[in-house]
């Protein structure tokens, strides 16, 4: 077995921010003639490197717009980085939003199949797990309901249940678990901890410092696309806390 | 490490899944369901037959079969490219959340249209029986010609799927191309009815080449000459290569536009 499950090396990513987006062929052609500068470059990620080992929970924190979701998307191969590389050992499932790319017109069962097949699992394998997934998600009554009628919590439960029961080697979770009620959140945490025990790697983003300190083995504080700190959760949370206080001071005119 | 074979298996499963789910969604909320794919070309046939045999008095032998063949061959191109236009843009939730090869929605659009074409070829067979038409032995070459059409259609579907995300007016421009193409392809007339100069331009159109070959083997028992085949294969390869290059240029960044 190799040492790491996910190895991120020197990832950088720039986005073009358009003031007024030209998205028709006509505008693209006439746009050449206009002198006005139409876009700015946003450095979303700047030279990010870290490894996540098997059996490790890696937490990512940072203010809004710091590049957390972009980073998760690059690890999941959805965005292509401008430079750098991501090496993944094993099957990875990303939960980046409510659902796993669920189609609103499909039932819960059909969506389980569609998403799992897209993630590379075989149909026969899903056949044997589909009941378990529905049970874990507590959606027995809604297995044949179209997903467009689901609440956010139900979508999240279905996505999480599908992700963990097809048994990936690496799980990537954006801050979506917060949607579930306390009881289901507890179930998620237990599942994730059991996953870790079995040598799986988990990368997750959270705004809950308590969760990071309690469960993560290591963490990263991301700010403006740069990795400000990578290390023990307590240190990383402390450095994020310092940053927040400094920022609040700057923005608060009443303090001197 | 995943072997190449495994990768192929995976992709094939995804492609198949996509094509079937496309069909399901398309006809889910209609009473007649998949029958629509049959009714539409038949209605078209009725209208064209009425207009051109009674009003314009076209004298093409076996006109209903000539027409139906043209309609279904062109329909496959029209359906595939129309599905392809929205194949990526309609799936933004999926594409921004799960990675899979970006070529799959475009190619699966072509497969969906090919499934519909297969049903329509069945209708054509029914028509031949009904009109007591015994096709020449050369009709056995029709599958090969349709396979050539499939290659061409994939070559057009791939760039359309990414271009429509990048440039929102692609679908409007393509709508015009499709209606122009319908009149500039010998569906309800014979190619040699056109004036010389039109013929010399339109002979480069892959759809004209494909349909002409199809007419020859199904109706007249004429084998396409080596020249015609090479010509068609050549022009289709050029279109497909350009299409693939366009696709490759935009495919990596297409998800950022969603």
- Residue of B94, B169, B257 lying closest to A24 (CB–CB): B169
What was the pLDDT predicted at A254? 62
For the segment A208-254, what is each residue's pLDDT rounded down to a tens digit? 888 888 888 999 998 888 888 888 988 888 888 888 888 888 877 66
β-pair type (A57-61, A201-205):
parallel
Residue with tokens 């378990």, as numbered in its chain:
A132
Contact between A23 and B168 using a beta-carbon 8 Å cutoff: yes
* A29 close to B (CB below 8 A): no
* Chain A residues 89-108 with a CB less than 8 Å from chain B: 94, 96-97, 99-103, 105-106
pLDDT: is B153 or B24 the higher one?
B153
Contact between B97 and A78 using a beta-carbon 8 Å cutoff: yes
Q: Which two tokens stand for residue A254?
A: 């009443």
Is B83 a residue whose pLDDT tops 70?
yes
- Residue of B94, B97, B167 lying closest to A23 (CB–CB): B167
What was the pLDDT predicted at B30? 64
What was the pLDDT predicted at B1? 37
State the average pLDDT over residues A139-168: 89
CA distance A6 to A10: 13
CB contacts of B11 in chain A (<8 Å) are none
Q: With contact defined as beta carbons under 8 Å apart, do A229 and A235 qualify?
A: yes
What percent of chain A shows pLDDT beyond 90?
A: 5
State the average pLDDT over residues A184-198: 88
CA distance A246 to B112: 58
What percent of chain A shows pLDDT beyond 70?
A: 91
Q: What residue ranges do the domains of chain A occupy? A: 4-251
pLDDT band at A96 (very low <50, low <70, confident <90, very high): confident
Q: pLDDT averaged over chain B?
A: 87
User: How far is CA B174 from each of CA A64, A97, B8, B154, rounded to the nearest angstrom?
Assistant: 40, 33, 32, 15
pLDDT: is B2 or A108 the higher one?
A108
Q: What residue ranges do the domains of chain B occupy? A: 31-257
State the average pLDDT over residues A79-94: 87
Is B7 a residue whose pLDDT tops 60?
no
CB contacts of A169 in chain B (<8 Å) are none
Is A255 a residue whose pLDDT tops 80?
no
Is B157 a residue whose pLDDT tops 80?
yes
ipTM over 0.95: no
CB contacts of A97 in chain B (<8 Å) are 93, 96-97
Highest mean pLDDT among A108-122, A173-187, B106-120: B106-120
CA distance A251 to A170: 39
Contact between B98 and A23 using a beta-carbon 8 Å cutoff: no
> Taking CA atoms, what residue in A is nearest to B8?
A120
What was the pLDDT predicted at B8? 58
What was the pLDDT predicted at A1? 47
Our measurement of the distance from residue A230's CA atom to the centroid of its chain's CA atoms, rounded to an integer in Å, reads 18
- In three-state form (DSSP H/G/I as H, E/B as E, the rest C), the secondary structure along B127-173 is HHHHCCCCCCHHHHHHHHHHHHHHHHHHHHHHHHHHHHHHCCCHHHH
- pTM of the prediction? 0.83
What was the pLDDT predicted at B166? 87
State the average pLDDT over residues B79-87: 93
What was the pLDDT predicted at A31? 64
What was the pLDDT predicted at A214? 87
Is A35 exposed, middle or buried (CB count within 10 Å of its CB: 0-12, 13-18, 19+)?
exposed
Is B2 a residue whose pLDDT tops 60?
no
CB contacts of A99 in chain B (<8 Å) are 93, 97
CATH number of A4-251: 3.40.50.300
Range of lowest pLDDT (A48-52, A183-187, B54-58) = B54-58
Torsion angle in degrees (nearest 10) through CA of B99, A71, B254, B116: 20
Residue B38, C-beta contacts closer than 8 angstroms, at least 6 positions apart: B119, B120, B123
Q: Which two tokens stand for residue A70?
A: 């972009």
What was the pLDDT predicted at B29? 64
């Amino acid at each position: 077995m190799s040492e790491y499950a996910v190895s991120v090396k020197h990832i950088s990513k720039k986005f073009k921010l358009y003031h007024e987006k030209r998205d028709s062929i006509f505008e693209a052609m006439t746009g050449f003639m206009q002198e006005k500068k139409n876009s700015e470059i946003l450095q979303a990620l700047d030279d990010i490197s870290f490894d996540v080992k098997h059996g490790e929970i890696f937490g990512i924190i940072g203010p809004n717009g710091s590049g957390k979701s972009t980073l998760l998307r690059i690890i999941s191969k959805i965005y292509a980085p401008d430079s750098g590389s991501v090496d993944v050992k094993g099957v990875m499932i990303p939960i980046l939003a409510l659902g796993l790319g669920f189609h609103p017109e499909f039932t819960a069962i059909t969506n389980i199949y569609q998403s799992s097949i897209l993630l590379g699992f075989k149909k026969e394998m899903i056949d044997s797990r589909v009941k378990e997934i529905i049970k874990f998600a507590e959606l027995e009554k809604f297995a044949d309901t179209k997903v467009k009628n689901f609440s956010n919590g139900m979508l999240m439960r279905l996505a999480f249940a599908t992700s963990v029961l097809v048994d990936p080697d690496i799980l990537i979770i954006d801050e979506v678990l917060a949607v579930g009620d306390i009881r289901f959140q507890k179930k998620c945490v237990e599942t994730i901890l059991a996953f870790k025990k079995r040598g799986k790697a988990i990368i997750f983003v959270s705004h809950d410092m308590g969760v990071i300190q309690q469960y993560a083995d290591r963490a990263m504080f991301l700010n403006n696309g740069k990795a400000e700190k990578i290390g023990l959760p307590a240190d990383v949370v402390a450095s994020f806390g310092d940053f927040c206080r400094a920022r609040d001071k700057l923005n608060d005119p009443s303090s001197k | 490490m995943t072997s190449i074979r495994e990768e192929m298996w995976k992709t094939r499963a995804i492609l198949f899944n996509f094509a079937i789910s496309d069909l399901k969604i398309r006809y889910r909320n209609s009473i007649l369901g998949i029958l629509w794919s049959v009714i539409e070309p038949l209605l078209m046939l009725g209208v064209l037959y009425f207009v051109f045999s009674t009003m314009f008095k076209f004298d093409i032998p076996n006109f209903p079969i000539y027409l139906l063949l043209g309609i279904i061959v062109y329909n496959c191109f029209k359906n595939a490219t129309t599905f392809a236009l929205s194949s990526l843009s309609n799936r933004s939730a999926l594409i921004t959340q799960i990675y899979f090869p970006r070529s799959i929605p475009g190619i699966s659009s072509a497969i969906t249209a090919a499934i519909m074409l297969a049903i329509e070829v069945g209708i054509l067979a029914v028509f031949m029986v009904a009109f007591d038409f015994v096709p020449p032995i050369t009709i056995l070459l029709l599958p090969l010609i349709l396979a050539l059409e499939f290659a061409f259609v994939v070559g057009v579907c791939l760039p359309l799927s990414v271009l429509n995300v990048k440039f929102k007016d692609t679908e409007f421009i393509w709508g015009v191309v499709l209606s122009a193409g319908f009149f500039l392809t010998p569906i309800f007339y014979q190619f040699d009815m056109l004036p010389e100069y039109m013929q010399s331009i339109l002979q480069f159109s892959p759809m004209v080449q494909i349909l002409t070959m199809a007419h020859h083997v199904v109706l007249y028992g004429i084998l396409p000459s080596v020249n015609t085949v090479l010509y068609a294969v050549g022009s289709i390869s050029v279109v497909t290569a350009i299409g693939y290059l366009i696709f490759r240029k935009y495919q990596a960044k297409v998800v950022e536009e969603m």
